[in-house]
Structure 1
Amino acid sequence: MKFFQGLAVAGVVALAGGFAGSAANAASIAVGKKLELKVDAKKMDEERTRLWTKFGGWCALKDWHPAVANCEESTEGDAKIRVLTLKDGGKIKEKLLDEKPNFYRYEILESPLPVKNYQAQFALTPDDDDEDEINFAWSATFDANGKTNKEAHDVIDGIFTAGLDNIKATAGTK
């Protein structure tokens, strides 16, 4: 639990600091969600690899997020891009900003969502306090765009909750 709290705080600080320059440009809304999964502690590395392979790929959302119908990957210059087609027909264009084992950070370039200056990260890590637990953590910072801060927050919170709930239902863990 402590790890996620630290990850969420570090992620929000890192994401807010990643915007162009001054604090005036930093996103004003933060959302963070965590999914705790029980796994066999003796097989932690294998479980982490299995779960990341199934849920962590750049375009894997199409396989586990209930709102995503398709994902298409491409490159624009040196940038890795994905376009998510939602089940309602909407499209979200995102750019990969950073990728490490069991972690990636991205930004939204175009979207029907009520957000701007959106950057997020998705990660899978062992829990520092529980040796037989692994955590998916999804967090974002952004500003509202065309809606109130609460409405924009609730939209992103709902997206994260629906996705993590579906991972929990399909992960095949204890």
Structure 2
Amino acid sequence: MASTSVSRIVPASPKQVWNLIGGFDALPDWLPYIPQSTALEGGRVRRLTNPDGDVIVERLVAFHEAERHYSYAILEAPFPVTGYVSTLRVHAVDGQDGVAEVQWSGRFTPDGATDAEAEELFAGIYHDGLEALHQALSA
């Protein structure tokens, strides 16, 4: 099993960040490469569409409001992995009320790719996503 994790300090309090990203169906609010998200099964599943029309279906597997994190599994996607589970987490930064650290991590089994290729793919997705979040919070 392969894994990767990316974190980023963003210019907003943990509460402000969580208010933006904490909804399982909120990706289009801050992630430009996911312009559409449709909530299914009472909000426990999201059907995402990227600008190329690719569909990604994900199921919420854990959610903790007070600790500001959720985890999800990919059910359907054009990625060369199986068994994908990811967590998006918001942390306070000691002594800095106006910033937060956001961590996006995942574990998966490559399928048709090497561990390094799959890890690089998701590290890039997470990095670009957290950069987009930083820009959204800086606007």
Answer yes or no: same fold by TM over 0.5. yes
| Residue 38 of structure 1, CA deviation | 4.7
| Residue 56 of structure 1, CA deviation | 2.1
Partner of 2:29: 63
Count of aligned residue pairs for this structure pair:
135
1:34 aligned onto 2:10: no
Q: TM-score, with normalisation over the residues of structure 2?
A: 0.89
Q: Deviations over 1:67-124 (max 9, x none)?
A: 2120011117xx8100110111111110000101111011001110111110010011
Partner of 2:95: 131
Q: Distance in 2 between matches of 1:131 and 1:114?
A: 41
- State percent identity of aligned pairs: 27
Q: Distance in 1 between matches of 2:87 and 2:52?
A: 24
The structure with more radius of gyration: 1
* Matching residue's letter, 2:6: K
Write out the 4+ residue segments of structure 1 that deviate beyond 4 Å after TM superposition: none
Structure 2 gaps, min length 5: none
Partner of 1:84: 48
- Structure having the higher helix fraction is 1
8 Å CA contact 2:17, 2:100 repeated in 1: no
Compute the RMSD of aligned alpha carbons: 1.8
Q: Distance in 2 between matches of 1:85 and 1:114?
A: 17
| Residue 49 of structure 1, CA deviation | 2.2
Partner of 1:121: 87
1:37/1:69 Cα in 2 relative to 1: closer, same or farther (>3 Å)? closer
